[in-house]
Structure formats: C-alpha cells, structure tokens
Amino acid sequence: MKLFQIKIISVSETEGVKLTNQRLEYPPLHTERINLRILNLVDAEAVHRHFSDEEVTRYMDIDPCKDLKEAEEIIQFHIDDLGCRWGMFDKGTDELIGTCGYHYLRREDEEFTAEIGFDLSKAYWGQGLMYGGSSMGLTTIDATVEPENARSITLMERLGFERDTELREQFVYFELKRNG
C-alpha cells in the first residue's frame, strides 16, 4: 500500500480528530493545491475511475475496481470504519486525484495510534503533493509498505518515519512518534 503524511495548512493540532457520540469526526482539510473531504457515496463514479487504474492499486490490498458497485463498497467500508478516507480533489479542476486516510485506530493508555495510507493518480506522481505535516492529535502514526514500492519507502524516510530493521509479515514497517 502506498503511504504518506500530508501537510495540513488550515487545521491545527487542537482541531484534529474529534469524538462525538462515540463516532470520530474528521474535518475537511486544505493544502495549497488540494481540497480533502471525507468520501461519500456521491463520489462513487470518481472513485471507480480512480481505482480502476492498475497503476494506482499496484501496491494496495485491492484489485482494480471493475464497476460502480465495487466503488460504492470501497466508500461504504470507510464510512463504516472508525478510521477515515479523505478524497483528494485538485483545487483547480475539482477532480479526484487520490485518497488518503487513517486506518486501524487504536488507543492504549495515553497512546493514540493509527496507520496512514494513500493512493494517488499516476498523472500526479512526482509533483510534490506528499509532504510532512499534521498528526491530527495522534501520538504515533505507523505505515506498512511493500518492499518493491521504492517511491513510498523513499517518501516515508524523507518524512522522518523510523524504519524497522526487519520485515513484518513481508512488509517494511515505519513509525513516526509525535515529539512531546
């Protein structure tokens, strides 16, 4: 799975993830070039187009999306999950160019940890859209990357994620702990 952390320019650490009525709420986010909002079923056609590209899903745990129903299932999975999946929309065109989100959220005592992941349309690779930023109130962010996914490994290292010395379940494991 392709993984990253994105710089947030309009949400502070204290405005991060909020728990309301035992559900987590995730705010819409904005960078200089991208609007991010939680995906919903209205986005199914765009999600289908995006995930039908074999280059996008190459290192993910899903096959390329075959139809609109599969796109709706992907969206519904993330709606039902405690984590989140933002759609990444180009500010100039409002086109869905990728998704990102937190998964496998877990809390132990004072530790609040989540796995982070992303996918990006090939036309946007190498354009500097993925870079460090907000932890949304998490104490630890972890990531798993397939060993063949050199771009994501380089990105994780550039963002300051610590790389585990051994593979875990045949994945390269990374961890980023919030200072203080």
CATH number, domain with residue 66: 3.40.630.30
Q: Is residue 108 part of a domain?
A: yes
pLDDT higher than threshold 60 for residue 178: yes
Q: Is residue 136 part of a domain?
A: yes
pLDDT given at position 65: 94
Q: What pLDDT score was predicted for residue 36?
A: 92
Note the pTM of the prediction, 2 decimals.
0.80
Instruction: Check residue 1 and give its pLDDT.
Output: 32
| 146 or 131, greater pLDDT | 146
- Tens digits of per-residue pLDDT, 141-162? 999 999 999 989 998 998 899 9
Q: Which residues pair with 89 in a beta bridge?
A: 35, 96
Pairing of strands 172-177, 140-145: antiparallel
In a domain, 1, yes or no: no
Residue 44 has pLDDT above 50, yes or no: yes
The total number of structural domains in the chain stands at 1
Q: Rounded mean pLDDT of 23-27?
A: 69
Collect contacts of 169-175 with beta carbons under 8 A, ≥24 apart. 169/144, 170/146, 171/144, 171/145, 171/146, 171/147, 172/144, 172/145, 172/146, 172/147, 173/142, 173/143, 173/144, 174/3, 174/142, 174/143, 174/144, 174/145, 175/140, 175/141, 175/142, 175/143
Helix, strand, coil share of the chain (percent; to 5): 25, 30, 45
In this prediction, residue 66 carries a pLDDT of: 96
Residue 77 counted as domain residue: yes
- DSSP-assigned letters across all residues of 68-99: HHHHHHHHHHHHHSSS--EEEEETTT--EEEE
Q: Which range marks the domain in which residue 163 is found?
A: 13-177
Q: Compute the mean pLDDT over every residue in the chain, rounded to the nearest whole number.
A: 82
Using an 8 Å Cβ cutoff, are 142 and 175 in contact?
A: yes
Task: Indicate left, alpha or beta for 39 from its phi (over 0: left) and psi (-120 to 50: alpha).
Answer: beta
Q: Is residue 139 part of a domain?
A: yes
The 10s digit of each residue's pLDDT in 73-129 is 999 988 888 788 899 999 999 999 999 888 888 888 888 888 888 899 999 988 888
Helix axes of 44-51 and 68-80: crossing angle, nearest 10 degrees: 110
CA distance 160 to 155: 9
- Residue 3, in any domain of the structure: no
> Per the domain annotation, does 144 fall within a domain?
yes
Average pLDDT estimate for 50-56: 95
Helix H or strand E segment including 55:
helix 54-57
Q: How far apart are CA 104 and CA 172, in angstroms?
A: 17
Report how far apart, in Å, the C-alpha atoms of 23 and of each of 49, 128, 166 are: 29, 33, 35
95 in any annotated domain = yes
